[in-house]
Amino acid sequence: MQPARVFRHQIEFIILAIICSCGISASAVIVPIGQAYAIAQVSATSHTDNNMNVTSTSSAIRDDKRHFSGPTAIAFDLKNGRVYVINSGSKTVSVISSSTNNIIKNIPLPKTSNPTDITFDSFNGKLYVVDSAADNILVISGHDNKIIATIHIPAGKDALGFSYQYQPSHLAADSKNGNVFVVAFRGGMGTYDWDTSLFVINGKSNQIMGTIDLGIYIMPGALITYDSVNNYLYISNRSWYVPQAIIYIVNASNNKIVTYLYDDGSLPQTNYGWTTPVSVDVNPRNGNIYVLNSVIVNSPYSCTLWVFDGTTNKLVAREAVGSFVKPIAGTFDLRNQNLYIIDNQNVTVISSSNYEIEKEIKISPGLSNLVVDPENGNVYVTNSALNTVSVINGYTNEFVKTIQ
């Protein structure tokens, strides 16, 4: 045997001995690559150290039954303390225990699906997932984590008699009566002409019980938020032809549009440009409505916070809250009264009392969405590039853990 080969086998033996002594399965760690061996699935516990990740081989042996694969949308279940994460890569929904911050199960979705959004209905204990590939809403039992129904968003006809298919994008659940509201859009005759509607689903029968027309010339992908205090829905969107965003307020009791929120120009401008909402949240303590906007002027992005009085629906504050690579998503934490907004790699904490930045938490490039656990105050941030979920302590705003 050649000396180099003997030395290589000695190294392999040492590595195997170390692995076995640590209680790790060698077959899950050593992957043959040609005439050499590479260690995969050995990653640092710190979210800032990526030097030990072997991305070229770890995906080949990663068990998707207990790992993320392109995590994007995320939702929280207050009843049983579960966090649900959509995996766009593996077509699954990961279930995380908020007490241990570990994945306890992955729920399989149809292989041909394209899951884009998820919400949990605390009234009936069901999960609802948007499948934009088939224009369906998948209903999952929160009890046994199985798909129990598929609701198809129907086609329709325009004024000229032409058929079209509505495509669902986002959804929210009414925790008071179990109804689910789905924002869906259809393309028009022109490149930027869209017709957006709100479909109302009965949470008991899983049947569509009505639609609300949100108007034409509206961009697809509208966000939707439910406020259980006043039983209102807030739907954010922007027209291609109007530079300022518009927030629709819909009464969930009678499914009618109440009014609109928009920047009426009554306050001095801080950021000029086209605004696109990335989150809409309601503070039940004071009734304020917070709208975080991504603002683009030429190529740089910035973030503007709109604050509306929930009683008068008037704009009471407009604040520039920092510059971001590109603001992606945001959320509000009722316990600490802070707003959280993410760009590609940072989590920025904003005080709702003075609208000042309290802290910037650097994670890793690839952030996609976030949610707050109202029970323990933790913030969960998905990273679709690294296939991880980062946990941040909402009280200290310190990094806690990376779930992977």
DSSP string, 223-273: EEEEETTTTEEEEEE-BSS-SS-EEEEEETTTTEEEEEEE--S-S--S--S
Residue after which a domain boundary falls, among 262, 282, 300? 262
Instruction: Specify the CATH number for the domain of residue 156.
Output: 2.130.10.10
Q: What's the pTM?
A: 0.80
The conformation of residue 28, written as its DSSP 8-state character, comes to G
Distance CA 258, CA 24 (A): 59
pLDDT at 246: 81
3-state SS, residue 302? strand
Q: What is the largest CA-CA distance in the chain?
A: 85
- Predicted pLDDT of residue 72: 96
| Domain membership flag for residue 343 | no
- The last residue of one of the domains, among 40, 61, 82, is 61
State the number of CA atoms in the 13 A half-sphere of 240 facing the CB.
12
Residue 212, in any domain of the structure? yes
Nearest Cα neighbor of 151 from 171, 140, 137, 165 is 137
**Would 190 be classed as within a structural domain?**
yes
Contact 283, 290 (CB under 8 A): yes
201 is a domain residue:
yes
Q: What are phi and psi of 57, to 5 degrees?
A: -120, -25
Query: Where are the alpha helices (H) located in 55-181, listed in sequence order?
Result: 55-61
Structure tokens at 332: 């509000």
Sign of the alpha-carbon dihedral angle for 281, 284, 285, 286: positive
Claim to verify: residue 151 and residue 51 sit in the same structural domain:
no
C-alpha span between 372 and 335 (Å, rounded): 10
Report d(CA 391, CA 197) in Å as an integer.
Answer: 35
Nearest to 358, CA basis, from 380, 333, 327: 333
Q: Are residues 122 and 246 in the same domain?
A: yes
Residues in a beta bridge with 395: none
**pLDDT in single tens digits along all 404 residues of the chain:** 444 444 444 444 444 444 444 444 333 333 333 333 232 222 222 333 333 233 322 333 344 566 899 999 999 998 889 999 999 999 999 999 999 999 999 999 999 999 999 999 999 999 999 999 999 999 999 999 999 999 999 987 766 777 788 889 999 999 888 999 999 988 654 444 567 889 999 999 999 999 988 875 556 567 899 998 889 999 987 655 555 678 889 999 998 999 988 888 777 765 556 678 889 999 999 999 999 988 776 556 678 889 999 999 999 998 888 666 678 899 999 999 999 999 999 999 999 999 999 999 999 999 999 999 988 899 999 999 999 999 999 999 999 999 99
Indicate whether 130 and 51 sit together in one domain. Answer: no
pLDDT at 23: 45
Length of the chain, in residues: 404
Tokens encoding 193: 């002409």
Q: Quote the CA–CA distance of 363 and 383 in Å, as a whole number.
A: 9
Residue 54 and residue 137 in one domain: no
C-alpha Rg value of the chain to the nearest Å: 23
> Is residue 369 a part of any domain in this protein?
no
State the DSSP code for 16.
H
DSSP-assigned beta bridge partners for residue 246: 237, 262
Residue at 67 is within a domain? no
Q: In terms of domains, do 122 and 30 share one?
A: no
Contacts by 23-27, CB closer than 8 A, 24 or more apart: none
Q: Which tokens belong to 120?
A: 């949990």
Is residue 151 in some structural domain?
A: yes
- CA-to-CA separations, 62 to 19, 55, 65, 381, in angstroms, rounded: 17, 10, 9, 21
The range of the structural domain enclosing residue 155 comes to 109-262
Beta partners for residue 209, in sequence order: none
Please count the structural domains in the chain: 2
| Whether residues 122 and 250 fall in one domain | yes
309 lies in some domain:
no
Q: What are residue 317's DSSP bridge partners?
A: 307
Residue 329's SS3 state is: strand
Same domain, 122 and 256: yes
Please give the angle made by the CA atoms of 336, 338 and 341, to the nearest 5 degrees: 145
126 and 258 assigned to the same domain = yes
124/241 same-domain check: yes
Q: Taking the alpha carbons of 273, 276, 282, 283 in that order, is the dihedral positive or negative?
A: negative
Task: Looking at the structure, tell me whether residues 113 and 258 fall in a common domain.
Answer: yes
DSSP annotation of 356:
-
Of 243, 262, 281, the residue at which a domain comes to its end is: 262
